[in-house]
C-alpha cells in the first residue's frame, strides 16, 4: 500500500481528485492540521472538511471516525480523548490528535457524531462499536436505549476492545439492558482488571513514575480498561455487590488515579477534603 503520508500535496491532490479515498483523507489532514498552529482559515477548513467527507462517503473508516469525533468534541471531551488514544499507533490516524484539537471549537453535533460512528460499525470497527454503545447508553445523538447499548458493548468486546468490559459491568450492576446481576458485573470487572494489570506491567516504563508516564503516553483503551479500577472502588465505597469497605475503595481509587483516571483523582481529593479516616492514616 502506498504511504500516503509521504506523498507531496500535488500528488495527493491528483489522487484525491481521481477518487482515491486514502488520498482524500490525507489531503484533508494536511489541509486542516496546520490550523492549530497558524490560526483559523475558513477557506482551508471548508476545503479540508470537503475532502474528509468525500473519503467518509466512500466508507473509509478513519475519515468516518474523524468526523464522528470532530462532532463529539465539546459534547464529551473525555470520551474523545479515550477514543483517540485507542488509535494512537494507527497509520491512518497519525494526525488525529492535531485534527481534533484544531477543530474542536466547531464540533458539538451529537446527531452527526452518532451517524458517522454508526456508518463505521458497518466496516466492523471495534472503536465505533464501543462509541455507538456509549451513544445509546447516554442518549448522545440518538434516543437512549439500554438494550442496544449492551448489544454494542458486547460486539466491541468480541472484537477485543478492552474498555467495553467496563460498559458490560456497568450494565449488569445497574440492570440496564440486561437483568441485574452483581456476580456477572464483578466477573467482568475482574476480567478487565487482569487484562489492564498485564498491559500496564508490559507497557509502562519502570524508570518513570507511573502517573507521569501515563500523562505523557496515554494508555491505549482498546487494550486496557483502567476505568475498571475506578468502578471497583465505587462498588466498595457504596457496598454494592460487595461488602462496603472504605479501605478497599481507597486502594482501587488510588490505583486508578495513578494511571491518570480523572474521576478517581477527584474521589481521592474529595476523601482528603472530607477527612475520611482511611485518608487521615496516610
How crowded is residue 109: how many other Cβ atoms within 10 Å of its Cβ? 19
Q: Residue 149's closest CA among 173, 124, 127, 167? A: 167
**78, exposed or middle or buried, with CB in 10 Å at 0-12, 13-18, 19+?**
exposed
Separation between Cα atoms, residue 76 and residue 237, nearest integer Å: 26
DSSP3 helix / strand / coil % (the chain, rounded to 5): 70, 0, 30
User: So what's the pLDDT on residue 77?
Assistant: 77
Distance CA 166, CA 190 (A): 10
Once rounded to an integer, what is the mean pLDDT over residues 218-240?
Answer: 93
Residue 201 has pLDDT above 50, yes or no: yes
pLDDT band with cut points at 50, 70 and 90 for residue 279: low
Distance of alpha carbon 272 from alpha carbon 22, whole angstroms: 51
Question: Would you state the pLDDT for residue 72?
Answer: 87
Q: Tell me, what's the pLDDT at 75?
A: 84
Regarding pTM above 0.75, the answer is yes
Confidence (pLDDT) at 79: 85
Question: Cβ(156)–Cβ(129) under 8 Å?
Answer: yes
CB–CB of 62/5 below 8 Å? no
Dihedral, CA of residue 22, residue 23, residue 27 and residue 29, to nearest 10: 20
- pLDDT-based confidence at residue 1 (cuts at 50, 70, 90): very low
Return phi, psi of residue 219, to 5°: -65, 150
Stretch among 40-49, 88-97, 201-210 having the lowest mean pLDDT: 88-97
Give me 51's grid cell: 475532502
Domains in the chain (CATH in brackets) are 1-153 (1.25.40), 193-282 (no CATH)
The Cα 248–Cα 278 span in angstroms is: 9
Confidence grade of residue 91 (pLDDT, cut at 50, 70, 90): very low
pLDDT grade for 199, boundaries at 50, 70 and 90 = very high
- Lowest mean pLDDT segment, chosen from 34-48, 133-147, 266-280: 34-48
DSSP 174-211: HTSSS---HHHHHHHHHHHHHHHHHHHHHHS-TTS-HH
Residue 271 pLDDT more than 90?
Answer: no
Instruction: Please give the average per-residue pLDDT across 129-134, as a whole number.
Output: 96
Amino acid at each position: 500500500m502506498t504511504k500516503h503520508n509521504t506523498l507531496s500535496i500535488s500528488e495527493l491532490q491528483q489522487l484525491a481528485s481521481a477518487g482515491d479515498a486514502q488520498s482524500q483523507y490525507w489531503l484533508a489532514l494536511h489541509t486542516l492540521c496546520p490550523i492549530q498552529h497558524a490560526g483559523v482559515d475558513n477557506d482551508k477548513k471548508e476545503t479540508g472538511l470537503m475532502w474528509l467527507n468525500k473519503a467518509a462517503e466512500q466508507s473509509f473508516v478513519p475519515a468516518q471516525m474523524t468526523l464522528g469525533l470532530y462532532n463529539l468534541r465539546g459534547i464529551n471531551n473525555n470520551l474523545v480523548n479515550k477514543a483517540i488514544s485507542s488509535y494512537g499507533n494507527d497509520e491512518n490516524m497519525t494526525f488525529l490528535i492535531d485534527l481534533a484539537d484544531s477543530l474542536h471549537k466547531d464540533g458539538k453535533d451529537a446527531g452527526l457524531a452518532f451517524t458517522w460512528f454508526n456508518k463505521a460499525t458497518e466496516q466492523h470497527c471495534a472503536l465505533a462499536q464501543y462509541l455507538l454503545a456509549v451513544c445509546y447508553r447516554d442518549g448522545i445523538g440518538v434516543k437512549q436505549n439500554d438494550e442496544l447499548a449492551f448489544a454494542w458493548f458486547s460486539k466491541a468486546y468480541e472484537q477485543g476492545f478492552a474498555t467495553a468490559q467496563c460498559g458490560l459491568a456497568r450494565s449488569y450492576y445497574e440492570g440496564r439492558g440486561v437483568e441485574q446481576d452483581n456476580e456477572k458485573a464483578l466477573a467482568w470487572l475482574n476480567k478487565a482488571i487482569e487484562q489492564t494489570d498485564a498491559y500496564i506491567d508490559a507497557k509502562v516504563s519502570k524508570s518513570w513514575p507511573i502517573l507521569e508516564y501515563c500523562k505523557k503516553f496515554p494508555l491505549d483503551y482498546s487494550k486496557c480498561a483502567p476505568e475498571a479500577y475506578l468502578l471497583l472502588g465505587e462498588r466498595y465505597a457504596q457496598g454494592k455487590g460487595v461488602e462496603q469497605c472504605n479501605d478497599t475503595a481507597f486502594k482501587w481509587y488510588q490505583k486508578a488515579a495513578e494511571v491518570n483516571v480523572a474521576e478517581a483523582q477527584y474521589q481521592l481529593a474529595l476523601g482528603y477534603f472530607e477527612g475520611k479516616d482511611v485518608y487521615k492514616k496516610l
